Amino acid sequence: MTTAKGIADAKALLGICELTGIRFWEESVRRQATETPADPTASSDAHEAGIRISTKIGANETELHFRFRLNLDDVDAKYVCDIETIFALTEHSTSEVTEEVRREFAEKVAFMVAFSHMRASILGSAGRLGIGQPVLPLMRLGEFSIGSPVTPENAETDYS
């Protein structure tokens, strides 16, 4: 639903946009130094590993860009997956989408799209190194929320 002020909520935005792109900015893995080789058939619980997710939201006139950077410190390796989802508005301009609606959409839609690709990236990276594959937790709708927004000060450390 749209109002005189613009797009009312994430559900209304979902009705007038399409996923048009998924862009990987970075995929990396670095083996941790261990004395014994890991069992490649084993998996570790990512709940116990350190997971950090940074978020950056941007737009041009017709597209909304949602970038998510996952850092995972596991027993066997350190992983980074930096991915952007791009949604084109089929009607309206992005100027009609408030910051609140963009944030809600990022949490409920864009992140859910990105997370499946992040999971595949982590599993594939572990497989290429022949180490145990960390199992990322199931992400249920409403469990992910954006913390503090990316500022010029933390953008350099999070996205460089």
Is 94:64 a contact under the CB 8 Å cutoff? yes
pLDDT at 4: 42
> What's the pTM?
0.80
Residues of the chain with pLDDT under 50: 1-2, 4, 46-47
pLDDT at 94: 92
